[in-house]
Amino acid sequence: MTPAFLYALVGIVLFSIGLYGLILYKHLLRKILAINILGSGVFLVMVALADRIGDAVPDAVPHAMVITGIVVAVSATALALALMLRVNEETGQAVLPEDREA
Amino acid sequence: MLIDSPHWIIIIILLPILGSVVCFLWREHIVKLALATAVGTVTSVGVLSWQVITNGVQRYELGAWSAPLGIELYLDGLSLLMLLVTAIVGFAISIYASAYFKDDKTNIFWPLWLFLWSALNALFVSSDIFNLFVTLEIIGLSAVALVALSGGANAITAAMRYLLVSLLGSMLYLMGVALLYHSYGTVDMVLLSLRTEMTPTMWLIMGLMTTGLLLKTALFPLHFWLPPAHSSAPVPVSAVLSALVVKASFYILWRLWIVVFPLADHAQANLGFILGLLGSLAIVWGGFQALRQTRLKLLIAYSTVMQIGYLFLAFPLANVMGWKATLYFILAHAVAKTAMFMAAGNILIHRGHDRIADFYSMAQYLPLTISAFALSGISLMGLPPSGGFIAKWLLLEASIVSGQWWWGLVLIVGGLLTGAYVFKVLGYAFIQEDSSNEPYPIGISKRMEWMALGMALLAIVLGFIAPFILRIMDIGSPFAEVLS
Amino acid sequence: MEEINVLLLFDVVLGLTLVWLAWQTLSSLDLFRAIVLFIAFGLLMALAWVRLDAPDVALAEATIGAGLTGALLLSALAQLSASQKNETKPSLFIRLTLGVLLFFLVIALAYTVLSLPTKAVGLSVEVAKNIELSGVSNPVTAVLLNYRSYDTLLELGVLLLALLGVWSLGGVSTNKSSFPKSSFVNPVLDLVTRLLVPIFILFSGYLLWVGAFAPGGAFQAGAVLAAAGVLVFLSDWYLPSKYSGFALRLVLVIGLVWFVSMGFSFVLLDNAFLEYPPEFAGGLILLIEAAATLSIGISLAALFLGREPATKSDSNIDIDTGVNK
């Protein structure tokens, strides 16, 4: 198996782990971490499959897309963290109301 | 000649961006600058519409690089109508918002809103599925920030939930994009439509992208985030969200369905049935929930959940008339829902609350606003003459023509439920209160009332100009098998 | 042959470590530990990118994905109250069901991926064919700043929007007491900052320059600049208030505005938007990237700071000296 497919599989597993974490864990910081891992999984699939080219220069378009994706992810994370802090301020806990303990 | 320039298609995207930047920089004159941008954008869309109606479909290669290497823009009748409804709703909301927001919220609202408008325009003309991802992100982040603008626990938690859902949807969509690119070597929709084949991989891709986009469009049962977000946002934001933002992700799903996904007839029928079923459930569930609400903004938000269901009824039909009905629903709903939210906003400011049971004498104090509510209700119910009626009529015909008349039943049930909650509100508004309470001050500016009424009237007018709208829909045959 | 096996072993170990780190990050009871593991995860991702022949992505991941995101996470954690950081586990039934469903998803996705052809060139041929016309020789830069520059332009917008959102949520900095003008500054941090910040700025300029023909570019350069900014904020230095109004906002938007202007510059000569004639392309791209680097760097640093800096007119406290006016 070439590195390309190996890392693509890793990406798929990361995608699922992120999805699992996003749905299951209650604390907003964990959800934000889960989304980041989910995103990393998608990026890994995108770039890994571009490496199926043997010794030649890999396809640059997926690389560019993933760089764009990384910047989008950090922007979204920053906004999410700011919101999380406000949720904490307004409700006393960094969880969504439906996830609150009693 | 300037009017014939091929660059208007990017001006509609760049002008609001520059307007947003200018509003961000020069805060002293922010409202004037923002309104000027709004006027400019609407004018540009107008010029573009004239071009498309006279000359037909437009294509634009950004950087002069053609697909698959570069990004292309594509403008047909479907895109044009989405641009038009965005322009009209956007303009009305801009005017409404200029009276609605005060003090430092204006500094945040206008740059975010103008950028959102730009991204909507960019989305409706894009032919590149990765570019669509970027526009979706702009729309998502700005919408979330706008929801949070209300402040307070409800809005903040609603915004947080909305952001997480939006990001999940985007990531599912992006995974689909990655798989499509690596399967077929391009992210351009037209090229993909020529290359895609019905393989098991394609099923998974469709599942991923559809789920992601359905999350963003809030189709039952993935609608849970919408009522809190749309009801706790500031009123102009609620209108933008219900009228335009949820339609943006729907538009992408629609294009993928018609253009990219290589659906053979049986696959189309089966998947279409699932979507139609979910749409029906949305209509029934949303309708009942709307009826149960005691607060007006929540009622209107659940009404949106219900009306989104209508958009999916055409998927099992797979005929051109069904698609045209769907587009007509989008146009009518956008305008009517904007009017309804504006009316709710007027009531909220005037009365200080939106508890429906305490709406007595509202019709006396805010006749324009209540008329707006009533007229937009007529369109939502699908009563003639209105845009909603045309849409319903077209869909009924489409369902009969395709032999699946039961979708028509769902439509009728939907109309009844809508009627019930609209009349509930109107009923309370017309109650005359005999007590000697002091008269409430009106407290809202004239332009807010007139914008609400204007939008509502437009929803009715849409009932009269159907032939014209339907002709525009045919430009470029967006609902035919392959894009020209 | 043996060398390939060793590399494959390395890849397997790296892949497993990534999965393990991801799992540990999410299941950690202590949030601080979770974030540290996440930063480690990001750094190992950068290694994975290197193994996949994606050095530009590796640079972006290390600086932005691991570095800046890590800084943001730690900064946010510090502002959460200590009490409720633990998590009660959801019921076993739910965990099992979700686990099974996701297992099937993994299988389905794996099948999909493995059924793709073992060799594929994607658009690399197209990219290479036109590279001389693009003005740069790094293909990733060519895609980002020429072929698909429209996406990059919009992306600068995403960054600006996020900052706008964060500012709208954070309030204005002098209201909260978390940024006092302290009289004590950690001397080690102070020294490290003084040494590193000029190096970072220089390195940022280098990454910007080299991006045209080697891995690098505006985003990576901007991130390094932001790192310098983060260091500087941590040492209790703040922008003098006369710059934190219009001047700051101007710098934040200059990348986007410049990008749009450059994109339009040849439209009057009957070119498309963002079309650069080949003889000017290299220079234009460098100029655009320079402005973008500045904006990206300041934006990312501002995201770290979190709150919109107050301007003179906003408060009763003289921001520069902390004295009540």
Per-residue pLDDT of C309-322, as tens digits, reads 776 555 444 445 54
Query: Quick one: pLDDT at residue C315?
Result: 47
Q: What is the least distance, in Å, from the CA of A48 to any CA of chain C? A: 6
Query: Quick one: pLDDT at residue C51?
Result: 93
Region B18-26: mean pLDDT is 95
- Contacts with C245 (C-beta within 8 Å, 6 or more apart), sequence order: C311, C312
Give residue C170's pLDDT band: very low, low, confident or very high (50, 70, 90): confident
For chain C, what is the domain count?
1
Give residue C1's pLDDT band: very low, low, confident or very high (50, 70, 90): low
Instruction: Considering only residues C83 and C213, tell me which one the structure prediction assigns the higher pLDDT.
Output: C213
Q: Is residue C24 part of a domain?
A: no
Q: Is residue C308 part of a domain?
A: yes
Domain spans, chain B: 1-262, 264-484
Chain C CB contacts of A7 under 8 Å are 11, 15, 48, 51-52
d(CA C235, CA C160): 25
Give residue C184's pLDDT band: very low, low, confident or very high (50, 70, 90): low
Q: Is A22 on the interface with C (CB under 8 A)?
A: no
Grouping H, G, I as helix, E, B as strand and the rest as coil, residue B27 is helix
- Chains contacting C with at least 3 CB pairs below 8 Å? A, B
| B417 has a pLDDT exceeding 70 | yes
Q: Summarize pLDDT for B172-214 with one digit per residue, the tens.
A: 999 999 999 999 999 999 999 999 888 889 999 999 999 999 9
d(CA B327, CA B307): 13
Q: What is the least distance, in Å, from the CA of A6 to any CA of chain B? A: 15
Question: In C1-68, where does DSSP find H-type helix?
Answer: 2-27, 31-51, 55-60
Q: Is residue C22 part of a domain?
A: no
Residue identified by tokens 């992408």 is B252
Q: Is residue C102 part of a domain?
A: no
d(CA B18, CA B32): 14
What are the residues of chain A with a beta carbon less than 8 Å away from any beta carbon of chain B? 15, 19, 22, 28, 31, 35, 38-39, 42, 45-46, 49-50, 61-62, 65, 68-69, 72, 75-76, 79-80, 83-84, 86-87, 90-91, 96-97
Query: Quick one: pLDDT at residue C175?
Result: 37
d(CA B459, CA B331): 8
Q: Which of C45, B360, B470 is nearest to A48 (CA)?
A: C45
Transcribe B155-203 into DSSP letters. Answer: HHHHHHHHHHHHHHHHHHHHHHHHHHHHHHS--BHHHHHHH----HHHH
Query: Quick one: pLDDT at residue C121?
Result: 86
Q: Is the CB of C253 less than 8 angstroms away from the CB of B25? A: yes
pLDDT, chain A, mean: 92
Query: Quick one: pLDDT at residue C309?
Result: 78
Query: Quick one: pLDDT at residue A53?
Result: 83
> Do B233 and B147 touch, CB atoms closer than 8 A?
yes
Q: pTM for this structure?
A: 0.94
Query: Quick one: pLDDT at residue C25?
Result: 95
Query: Quick one: pLDDT at residue B208?
Result: 95
d(CA B147, CA C195): 43
Grouping H, G, I as helix, E, B as strand and the rest as coil, residue C235 is coil
**Range(s) of the domain holding residue C282:** 139-172+183-325
Transcribe B213-277 into DSSP letters. Answer: HHHHHT-TTS-TTHHHHHHHS-HHHHHHIIIIIHHHHHHHHHHIIIIIS---HHHHHHHHHHHHH
Region B315-331: mean pLDDT is 91
- Which residues is C317 bridged to in the sheet? C324
| C146 has a pLDDT exceeding 70 | yes
> Looking at chain B, how many residues does it have?
484
Give residue B109's pLDDT band: very low, low, confident or very high (50, 70, 90): very high
Q: Summarize pLDDT for C251-306 with one digit per residue, the tens.
A: 999 999 999 999 988 888 888 899 999 988 999 999 999 999 999 999 999 999 88
Q: Summarize pLDDT for B424-441 with one digit per residue, the tens.
A: 999 888 887 755 565 666
Q: Is residue C247 part of a domain?
A: yes
Instruction: Mean pLDDT check: name the lowest of A39-48, B384-393, C258-267, C304-313.
Output: C304-313
Query: Quick one: pLDDT at residue C245?
Result: 85
Q: Is residue C231 part of a domain?
A: yes
Q: Is the CB of B185 less than 8 angstroms away from the CB of C123? A: yes
pLDDT, chain C, mean: 87
Q: Is residue C52 part of a domain?
A: no
| B443 has a pLDDT exceeding 80 | no
pLDDT, chain B, mean: 91
Q: Is residue C34 part of a domain?
A: no
Percent of chain C with pLDDT strictly greater than 90: 62
Q: Summarize pLDDT for A55-72 with one digit per residue, the tens.
A: 788 899 999 999 999 999
Q: How far is CA B234 from CA B145, B154, B226, in A?
A: 11, 12, 14
- Give all domains of chain A, ordered by start, each with its CATH number: 3-99 (1.10.287.3510)
Instruction: Considering only residues B437 and C200, tell me which one the structure prediction assigns the higher pLDDT.
Output: C200
Transcribe B76-104 into DSSP letters. Answer: -HHHHHHHHHHHHHHHHHHHHHHHH--TH
Query: Quick one: pLDDT at residue B256?
Result: 94
Region C139-144: mean pLDDT is 94
Query: Quick one: pLDDT at residue C311?
Result: 64
Instruction: Mean pLDDT check: name the lowest of C37-46, C130-139, C233-242.
Output: C233-242
Query: Quick one: pLDDT at residue C208?
Result: 95
Query: Quick one: pLDDT at residue B20?
Result: 96
| C44 has a pLDDT exceeding 50 | yes
Q: Choosing among A19, A46, A52, A95, which should be mutated to test the B contact, i.e. which has the most B CBs within 10 A?
A: A46
> Looking at chain C, how many residues does it have?
325
Query: Quick one: pLDDT at residue C243?
Result: 80
